[in-house]
Structure 1
Amino acid sequence: MKSTRIPEALKHEMTLIIPEWLLLKTGPVREHAVVISDGKFVAVGLATELQQQFAGLPTVMLNDSLLMPGLIDTHHHLTQTFGKSLVFGEPSEIFRRVWVPLEATLNDEHLYLASKMAALEALRGGFTTVCDAGTRSDAGLNAIAKAVIDVGMRCVLGLICNDLGGTANAAPPDEILQRAQRHLAHYEANALISPSLAISIPEVGSDMMLHRVSRLCAEAGRIFQTHANEHLVAVERSMVSRQLRPIELLQRVGALGPQTLLAHATLVTPTELKMLCDTDTAVSYNPVASAWKGNAVAPAHLMSTFGIRLGLGTDGTRGDGFRLMDYAEAAQRFAFGMGGGDSSCGAGWLWCDLATHGGADVLGLGNQIGEIAVGKSADFLLLDLQVPEMLPSWDLTWELVRLANRDQITAVFVAGKLRLWQGWPIDWDADALMRQYIEVAKTVVAQAPITKVHEFSSVHRRQHLTQQASNRNGGTGMGARV
């Protein structure tokens, strides 16, 4: 797997791949192989048997490697990449000060570039599917869809249906619902794009809109997305304006259910957990977002134990699937496990499951992706295991959570097609994209009415050093915010 040359067999339409390890839904196995044809797994089994059954088929032997399902990001914001590090150190609800002002300035070209860069970053981090929560830009979603398709990954693409604010311009309710129905129908036959409807947070949707949008998704077999119970201020605003917490509000208006995916759900009461259980509502657990800007950590291990369906999401923080799994376990250890004496917090396998077939389930795509199985789409990664970080190997599943790195990803396949080799696309110019992207990013950020609470780190350091010098000299100058 150290070669820079792509094995010829990986380029064929029908291929037999024999890795050292294969990660199945039940765990990692040796001496197994897969056959890929027409973008799907057509055979999965013992390598010796498949070699006999498919004699003469182009074959690639991959020693010291793992073939595993592509990772699934169940909560992303593809169009926010221009401002990623602008939010570092910022207090909660950055969407009000950064994301809404930024996204309101984006045109089709900006949306395309931002989304294409986000998709490339996600693929490099092992994600073959992302769920986009919707852009607040007035520009259409076609540019986002085109970007994702051009990169070659799957996307659950959300259309925001707010009727009480949270966007640059709120259309009349009838117009919002008509647009929602068109969106659900528009991508019906698209192999890579799955349409979805979203309301940014429950408070920016009327009772009628929350109910109707959720029902439209249920009827279409698609998912309804909303951010719920993420920040304390949002929970309190909901209690003041609607006399209910966000999840309670969703329950009252009939917007919970198997079609509903709640992003974050960090501040949850026992009553709300029971609501999620009773309605089979799913949750996207976003541990990196909790660490960077959240008020709490979702009790994901407890939710899973109670049967609440879960996936892992980046929230657009960084497109690194292995670091996401690491954070998923670590956040549970810090927030809950250490206090209760739980030394395993899911025993590693839980976070691998949520990053793969668990994520597919909450996105309504469990019959298509998420595992290495006959009939499923051939969305998978080839991972180099012959690296110092992974040796010696005693428990491969847990090692994937705690030790694996994205630089071990040799190849990324979506629908049986090789999309990245050793971190870079094989059929389009990523360098050209990055050059164009950085120039546009400078212009976009300069024009957007963004408000930051904290200075950039270089400015903060100077203020800190100035304060230290003033303190040594007996001064009483104002200190920088820390």
Structure 2
Amino acid sequence: MVRESVDLLIEARWLLPMEPADRVLERHSVAVRGGRICALLPWQEAETRFEARERLRLHTHALLPGLVNLHTHAAMTLLRGLADDLPLMEWLQKHIWPAEMRFVTPEFVYDGTLLACAEMIRGGVTCFNDMYFFPEAAAKAALEAGMRAAIGMIVVDFPTPYAADPDDYLTKGMALRDQYRSNSLLSFCMAPHAPYTVSDKTFGKMLTYAAQIQVPIHVHLHETEEEIRESLRQHGVRPIERLRRLGLLGPDLVAVHMVHLTPEEVDLVACANASVVHCPSSNLKLASGFSPVAELMEHGVNVGLGTDGAASNNRLDVFQELRTAALLAKAVSGRANALPAHRVLQMATLNGARALGLENETGSLLPGKSADMVAVNLGTLELSPCYDPHSHLVYAAGREHVSHVWVQGRLLLNEGRLTRLDVDEIIARATRWGRRVAEADGSAPEGRGQ
């Protein structure tokens, strides 16, 4: 019998394909050819069927789809820890926005995004959905890192160093999308920042563009009670109702945070087939409240996980979000079984891909899909013994247990070491930015950023 040739054959103790959500394949292999998964099959069968150019035996590991960070502002790693422990609007208006106006340039965004990519890869993230200024610099950094990224075409109604007005933002965003539209690692979203920074007229333009080029609309929504009070004062309705009237509440909407929701609004979101991004650590740190995630999912809403930016989290650690999301859902609902481990993992993989329109490309381990994968060593001291890999990945494992990461079959992390990025150079760049930001902010303690 002539064996088929493949590029890579990985033997794993457990495969977690995510379709269906609770499936576990023990002692199975993944065969990869041309950057795509071509088979999942038992070890012995794989040995007989395939001749592999490279073979990897991970006999204490779980192999699962790469994690999807469904909401972040990657370049804000360079503002991590700046003016912590303040209310959201005070933090933004007195510290973050002034620092951005002074320092955010293409170089800042490139350096910050590259730092974020390095952190995320080491934490098992293969795809992130970004919203920030100078998105062309973020795209460049993501490609250098070898990651998959959904780049937000950001729009706000006020001038920034990136653009002068809404039309300028849109023109620049569309030009970037046209430049990279054929790149297999990049996709795009319309990214109106929030209802309180975007006018009805601008929302209308973005909806038209999104429909024409068929991309999601990624927006912060119902994050704080103050946001809702201000919307009632200015528009006479809550933000979600305002977006519904404008035509944005639909299957292309990726609504971030969604903390303060009435039962009627949960129904609205479900009926619209919109997606929600849960950012539990950011919501806790900024005292925004508790999103009714279990209720949303029980109504059939597609819910993914995001870290938010490193300035408000302060980690781009999806493993932390997995555990926090699972525990919060139990506490908020009063039910220990409100959000089982396998469903939380699906939030961080397939649900995130689905929100971005990438579910046919990534988010699960199925033949034909891109080989975006992460291996987690469950054979360490603190993870032994292992009864259920889903449970261990959510409640016990951390990003420090990630050993290997692949995107399109290309190895980005090998035994915990980045293969494409120079860690020392990335840290040096971040340190230089930190000195400048700390000096300008004035609130930073002596030595911060040194």
Q: Note whether the superposition's TM-score is higher than 0.5.
A: yes
Quick check: 1:148 aligned with 2:146?
no
Counterpart Cα distance in 1 of 2:140 and 2:327: 36
Shift of the 23–295 alpha-carbon distance from structure 1 to 2, 3 Å rule, reads: same
2:326 aligned with 1:329, yes or no? yes
**What's the counterpart of residue 403 of structure 2?**
410
From the superposition, tell whether residues 28 and 218 of structure 1 become closer, same or farther in structure 2 (CA, over 3 Å). farther
1:214 maps to 207
Name the counterpart of 1:48.
44
Counterpart code for 1:377 = S
Name structure 1 gaps, 5 residues minimum. Answer: 1-11, 460-482
How many aligned positions are there? Answer: 435
> Which residue type is aligned with residue 96 of structure 1?
Q
* Offset, 1:249: 0.9
State yes or no: 1:85 paired with 2:81: yes
Aligned-partner SS, 1:31: strand
Residue 157 (str. 1) matches residue 151 (str. 2): yes
SS in 2 for 1:267: coil
Residue-by-residue CA offset, 1:172-202 (whole Å, 9 max, x unaligned): 4444443343233222111222122211111
Larger deviation: 146-155 or 84-93?
84-93
Cα deviation, residue 242, structure 1:
1.1
Taking the TM superposition and a 5 Å limit, the aligned residue runs for 1:296-311 are 296-311=289-304
Q: Which protein is bigger by CA-based radius of gyration?
A: 1
1:354 corresponding residue in structure 2: 347
Check if 1:381 corresponds to 2:377. no
Paired residues for 1:4-15 under 5 Å: 14-15=7-8
Kept in 2, the 8 Å contact 1:102–1:445? The answer is: no
Offset, 1:281? 1.1
Distance 2:99 2:447 in 1: 23
Distance 2:230 2:298 in 1: 30
Unaligned runs of 5+ in 2: none
1:464 maps to what in 2? none
Give the secondary structure class of the aligned counterpart of 1:369.
coil
Q: Which TM-score applies when normalising by structure 2?
A: 0.91
**Structure 1 residues 323, 264: CA separation in 2 closer, same or farther (over 3 Å shift)?**
same
**2:145 is matched by which residue type in structure 1?**
V
CA contact (8 A) 1:115 1:148 kept: yes
| TM-align CA RMSD | 2.2
Structure-2 change in CA distance of 1:56 and 1:168 (3 Å):
closer
Distance in 2 separating the partners of 1:67 and 1:264: 29
Among 170, 187, 208, the alignment partner of 2:180 is 187
1:386 Cα shift? Answer: 1.1
8 A Cα contact 1:183 1:195, kept in partner:
no
* % identical equivalent positions: 28
* Matched residue SS, 2:16: strand
Contact conserved, 2:307 with 2:321, CA < 8 A, in 1? yes
Q: Which amino acid aligns with 2:425?
A: A
Which moves more between the two structures, 26-35 or 365-374? 26-35
In structure 2, C-alpha distance between the alignment counterparts of 1:170 and 1:429, rounded to whole Å:
31
Change (3 A) 1:281 1:45: same
Task: Determine the C-alpha separation between the residues in 2 that align with 1:130 and 1:161.
Answer: 19
Report 1:58-207 matches (<5 A). Answer: 58-93=54-89, 94-104=91-101, 105-135=103-133, 140-163=134-157, 165=158, 167=160, 171-207=164-200
Deviation at 1:62, TM superposition (A): 1.9
Amino acid at match of 1:125: G
In the alignment, the residues of structure 2 paired with residue 212 and residue 153 of structure 1 have an alpha-carbon distance, to the nearest angstrom, of: 30
CA-to-partner distance for each residue in 1:49-101, whole Å, 9 max, x for gaps? 33222146543222111111111100001111121112421112333333322
The answer as to whether partners of 2:74 and 2:130 remain within 8 angstroms in 1 is: yes
- Secondary structure of the residue aligned to 1:365 is coil
In the aligned structure 2, how far is the partner of 1:176 from the partner of 1:438? 30
Equivalent position amino acid for 2:434 in 1: A
Contact persistence 2:105–2:161 (CA under 8 A): no
Contact 1:215 1:255 in 2 (8 A): no
Deviations for 1:293-348, whole angstroms, at most 9, x for unmatched residues? Answer: 132111111101101111000002212221110011112223232xxxx1222121
The TM-score, its normalising length taken from structure 1, stands at 0.85
Contact 1:80 1:99 in 2 (8 A): no
* DSSP-derived class of the 1:356 partner: helix
